[in-house]
Structure 1
């Protein structure tokens, strides 16, 4: 297969369009287990009834692993927010409604979010053992929920098509606490646009009837998890966020 119509370029993969199919082609050195895990996660989420791009094939193209799924014509929400700042509140509200729909679903076979966070925190070498212990103790004390969590829910992973929102990239999907998922979204938004982040948190807490302070207790934990991405431009802010809420 000859891939010519490049529609998205990423760190680990590029996405091409072939008619009604989008083909995500991973870098040659990208682990096979990660590709298969993404395909499996996406399939499990699709089984919940959420309207997401449906995987049709996992294959190898010119020595590179690839996932094929149905193509959704539309615009990335992140770009729409930048192009239409007057509509920011409306976009954020739609985004929260979509996230709450995701959280209403259950998928018992997805990995547990808490287990993943424990592994991420333990893998960090930029914080000392005392800080790790504090974070792991806090994480262990959090309520154990089984809601579907996207794990990377932000405007760059949402396509708007005919006024309907679709979520992409389910590689980090898990089952766990919705407020942990919300705290991560808040953190990701804060790295780019603090105003949008605060607006998001207000809407999420109001619509989900969640105490803002409770979501904030997750922030040091999700900041530590985000540090494992090793993005130099995020490091300074994330290190500050490890202490954003005083430990009790």
Structure 2
């Protein structure tokens, strides 16, 4: 995960070199135990079969910090419904014991990575606002 995030942020041309450097330093400062992360966990990657929910589309999976994976899901959900994103995060924090602040420290990194993906349905200005909020110039 770390290598992919580094590449994505390093490829950004929507932010200046100073801010890019700050994001990369922030990424390098994180310490964590590598865990399995989905990398693209959202409602369209879930299939209900009988009484089970199956998670599909593991093409973006990697070893990394689960807090980054959680924030990415929050970011994806919040694109369509902030209420859904907040419920997801609240439940995840309650069940895992993780703090919201621990997860949100990944906000500028994941927003930068998402910005590099140039997804047509994503609001680039929203991602830049997140980056600027958590990692100002």
CA distance in 1, matches of 2:93, 2:19: 28
Alpha-carbon shift at residue 143 of structure 1 (Å):
1.3
**C-alpha separation between the residues in 1 aligned to 2:135 and 2:9?**
18
Greater percentage in helix: 2
Which structure 2 residues correspond to residues 104-143 of structure 1 after superposition, within 5 A? Answer: 113-143=1-31
Deviations 1:46-103 (A, max 9, x none): xxxxxxxxxxxxxxxxxxxxxxxxxxxxxxxxxxxxxxxxxxxxxxxxxxxxxxxxxx
Report the TM-score when normalising by structure 1: 0.53
Counterpart secondary structure, 1:242: helix
Contact 1:121/1:225 (8 A) holds in 2: yes
- Name the structure 1 match of 2:72: 184
Q: Which runs of 5+ in 1 are unaligned?
A: 1-112
Report the Cα offset of residue 228 of structure 1: 1.6
Give 1:211 deviation, angstroms: 1.2
Match of 2:59 in 1: 171
**Max Rg structure:** 1
Partners in 2 of 1:234 and 1:204 — Cα distance? Answer: 25
Say yes or no: does 1:204 pair with 2:92: yes
Q: TM-score, normalised by structure 2?
A: 0.93
> What's 1:86 paired with?
none
Q: Does 2:103 match 1:215?
A: yes
Q: How many residues align?
A: 135
Runs of 4+ in 1 over 4 A off after TM superposition: none
* Greater RCO (CA < 8 Å, at least 6 residues apart): 2
Q: CA RMSD in A?
A: 1.3
Deviation at 1:231, TM superposition (A): 2.3
Structure 2 CA distance for aligned equivalents of residues 145 and 123 of structure 1: 26
Gaps of 5+ in 2: none
Q: Residue 238 in 1 paired to residue 127 in 2? A: yes
Q: CA deviation at 1:234?
A: 2.0
- Write out per-residue CA displacement over residues 88-136 of structure 1, whole angstroms, 9 at most, x where no aligned residue: xxxxxxxxxxxxxxxxxxxxxxxxx111100110011111111111111
